[in-house]
Structure 1
Amino acid sequence: MQKYPLLLIVLSTTLNATPIPTQDRFSVIQEIKDGCLKSQINAPENGDVPLAVIHQYCDCTSENAANSLTAEDVDAMNSGNPSPGAQKIAQAYAYCR
């Protein structure tokens, strides 16, 4: 059984993904970081976590998310369709833990 057509579909999808434009990247990172900070600072389980550690975690999360998000993901999220962008952000949260 030949598996090449599926590989070509995956590669085609990956190759057609548009990186976030440089001029938008800072805004995307900042928006993710702001949301992260708000949720992490307000989380009761983080009451003993130093603010500097929360900032490091949110820096890691926002940078990693921006590295994996595409322009298409951002457009979809801005249009009210969070998937798959939300999944990539969740993966960044998990990676940075």
Structure 2
Amino acid sequence: MKIAIGLTFFVVAGIASATPVSPATRADLSPATTNACLKRQLTEPANAGIHPAKIHQYCNCVGEETVNQMTQEAADYVERTGDPKPLLNATMYAYKACVPSLV
């Protein structure tokens, strides 16, 4: 019983410490992610048949969804350590989540 209570506290404490990205981080990260997406997707030969406006819509979604998947703690970690893994994970999730915006 003590173990279950301890695990419950650990999970609740972990959730409480995950804060959304700050407005300043959002202002930096969302456009940077959107622009990186645009640079890649607009030059991708497989996207030749997709109207550029749709690609812009998709990449705007990717920028916003990437930020929505990040926490301030993760963004601080990336900045502090240079390890891009949390950002890459959030971006990969966003790429998949934003596919419906192409329809």
TM-score (norm 1): 0.83
TM-score (norm 2): 0.79
Aligned to 1:88: 90
Q: Deviations over 1:44-73 (max 9, x none)?
A: 111121110000001111111111211122
Residue range with higher mean Cα deviation, 75-84 or 44-53: 75-84
| Structure 1 pair 6–88 and aligned structure 2 pair: CA distance change class (3 A) | farther
Say if 2:63 is the partner of 1:62: yes
RMSD of Structure 2 on Structure 1 (CA): 1.9
Aligned to 1:51: 52
- How far the C-alpha of 1:6 sits from its partner, in A, is 4.0
Matched residue pairs, number? 97
Instruction: Determine which structure has the larger helix proportion and give its number.
Output: 2
Within a 5 Å distance, the mapping from 1:24-39 to structure 2 comes to 24-39=25-40
Query: Percent sequence identity over matched residues?
Result: 32
Residue range with higher mean Cα deviation, 5-14 or 62-71: 5-14
Which protein has the larger Cα radius of gyration, Structure 1 or Structure 2? 2
Structure 1 stretches lacking a partner, 5+ long: none
Structure 2 stretches lacking a partner, 5+ long: none
Counterpart Cα distance in 2 of 1:36 and 1:17: 26
Counterpart Cα distance in 1 of 2:41 and 2:8: 39
Counterpart Cα distance in 1 of 2:50 and 2:8: 44
| Structure 1 pair 75–4 and aligned structure 2 pair: CA distance change class (3 A) | same
Residue range with higher mean Cα deviation, 60-69 or 1-10: 1-10
